[in-house]
Amino acid sequence: MAVERGFRFLKDKIFRVAEVYLKKPERIEALAMIMVLTLMIYSVAEWMLRKRLRETGEIIPDQLKKPTQRPTFKWIIFLFMGVTEVTIWMGGEMRQKIANLSDKLAKIVRLLGPVCEKYYELER
């Protein structure tokens, strides 16, 4: 059942897979491999976040704004859609900053661990 749910996620219109037209078998195989790897990363990230929520006793709001320790990673991805990396030039020096990272999203990043904290510039 979890496998079917995962592939349903990959077939979601947001990925626009129906718009990809490949003819060469090697390219079709490569796309399939990328989609399977994407599903694996999605599943591991969801599992890790749910595990950390259980361990810490933390909760986050779901789509209905109800507290949960079992969010879908699709919902988490949706929450991060407004977060972006901004490049700023100051005094001839280029600096990159993360914009639109709310406290709720920073909490999720911290729950995902040190690698994510470093990427989002939330190092302790």
Residue-by-residue DSSP string for the chain: -HHHHHHHHHTSGGG-GGG----SHHHHHHHHHHHHHHHHHHHHHHHHHHHHHHHHT--EE-TTS-EES---HHHHHHHGGG-EEEEEEETTEEEEEEES--HHHHHHHHHH-HHHHHHTT---
Backbone φ/ψ region at 24: left (φ over 0), alpha (ψ -120 to 50), beta: beta
Q: Is 67 left (phi over 0), alpha (psi -120 to 50) or beta?
A: beta
96: in domain: yes
Angle among Cα 72, 77, 81 to the nearest 5 degrees reads 150
pLDDT at residue 38, as a whole number: 85
pTM of structure: 0.75
Q: Confirm if 115 and 123 have CB atoms less than 8 A apart.
A: no
The confidence score (pLDDT) of residue 76 equals 93
Q: Is 26 part of a structural domain of the chain?
A: yes
Averages of pLDDT over each 10 residues, the chain, 124 residues: 61 64 83 86 92 95 93 91 90 89 93 90 72
Count the domains in the chain.
1
**Nearest Cα to Cα of residue 72 among 58, 82, 60, 81:** 60
For position 6, what pLDDT does the model report?
61
Do the domain assignments include residue 124?
A: no
Asked if residue 87 is part of any domain, the answer here is yes
Phi, psi of 113 (to 5 degrees): 110, 175
Give the structural domain span for 32: 2-119
In-domain check, residue 56: yes
